Amino acid sequence: MRVLSISRVGLMRAVGVLCLAGALLLGVHRALSEDIFRVKGSVYDDNRDVFVYVNNVHLEKDLGERLTLSLQQETDAVSSASIGCTVCHPDGGSATHIGWNVGGSYSLDPETNTTVGVSYFGSTEQDYLGNTVSFSAAREFAERNTTLAATYSFSYDNPHPHGWEAFADDYAFQGGSIVRRGGSGAPAKKFDQDVKFQFDGSLIGERVTDETKTSHRGGLSWTQVLDQKTIAQVNVDATRVSGFQSNAYHIVPVAGATYLETHPDARTRRAGVFQLNRALDARTFLKGSYRLYSDTWGITSHTGNGSLGRYFAGKSLLLEAGYRHYTQSAADFHRVDYEAPQAYMTNDDRLGAFQSGAFRAKAVYELGSPSALSMLQHLHVDAAYERYVAENDYQYNLLQLGVSGSF
């Protein structure tokens, strides 16, 4: 496992978030009486030398009987052999991602539990800015045995690829290949600042300077209580994405030369999910789901989920284990290598055909209301582990630890 190298700014932001959470939880608990908090930390490590630490803080505040406000902040600190592009960052480095979500929900009719909600999500990275506004509505019917919900979100993202200036100083194209500069024989030409750059008269690719991406997503869900032990849910959603969707750092081999990856500027995604939860007895339950996905790039995927859970120690301890299987077809324009330049090109294995499996286990323990922390109620601690393996030689381990409760 690599030693995590977090930038000073990223570390200060992460510590600041935790300090803010501590102040909210310990210093102003009177103002947040009987409200909800969740704090979670995650560690991710894969076989491609990527190591990620994530901390997440979530707070909810009831303002009267009908209005609830929520605040969530997440910080990701990433250490990698290459952040985005090996040639742009040959010695690896670190990156920090900051995300925050502010939202609220309002009960229009408590008798039918009719609610509407709105939220804003923003995120910032060294080379990417994201903004999403979401709206939701839900209503219960048939003596609260049926719930219908609808969602809509709009996203506006602005990627800012970085590292090309350093890339131009240290690397050049020779004989259709990217080579490190050095010695008297190294070419002196640097890449210009235009949208397109060339070397030796051959178009190498496009340098993204100020591209944007927009997304419209709509979804519907139906939740039904089938009997005293069984709940079913059906979800459908569609997303229309327009704008820049390539990886600005990803290079593609083409007949001995090297080009930048190019994706279509439009993509429509469609997905449907069916989920069934069944209680086997007072302490044991089963969960199962199936998801079908397709898009206009030619990808079709199938995801199957299953898990078994059981309560112990008077339902103070929950243990749950499950498995997820995933399979997908390749995008129409995906190739390992290209014989000639195409309008759209990628060899990203995430857009290729592959199968994967993930085993996960979770434990949740209820502490109740510890006497040492009298202002906290319904305190829970939880831990989860996931092991993922794909046939494209990609593997990762994910460990999560958290604490939640109310005031």
Apex 332 CA angle, 206 and 344, nearest 5: 15
pLDDT computed for residue 32 by the predictor: 38
Q: How confident is the model at residue 377 (pLDDT cuts 50, 70, 90)?
A: confident
pLDDT in tens, 76-126: 988 875 444 444 444 456 778 899 999 999 999 988 899 999 999 999 877
Angle at 132 between CA 128 and CA 133, to 5 degrees: 160
Q: Once rounded to an integer, what is the mean pLDDT over residues 251-264?
A: 82
Q: Are 396 and 357 in contact (CB under 8 A)?
A: no
Span 159-176, average pLDDT: 52
Predicted pLDDT of residue 335 = 92
Distance CA 30, CA 158 (A): 40
**127 compared with 143, residue with greater pLDDT:** 143
Backbone angles phi, psi at 257, to 5 degrees: -100, 180
CA distances from 406 to 11, 64, 166, 311 (A): 28, 16, 49, 21
Query: What is the average pLDDT value for the chain, to the nearest integer?
Result: 80
Phi and psi angles of residue 318, each rounded to the nearest 5 degrees, phi first? -115, 125
Local confidence band at 252 (pLDDT 50, 70, 90 cut-offs): confident
Nearest to 10 by CA among 106, 126, 102: 126
Task: Give the pLDDT score at 289.
Answer: 98
Domains present along the chain, CATH in parentheses: 8-161+208-406 (2.40.160.40)
- 328 CA to centre of own chain: 19
What pLDDT digit, counting tens, does each position of 275-318 carry? 999 999 999 999 999 999 999 999 999 999 999 999 999 889 99
pTM, to two decimals: 0.79
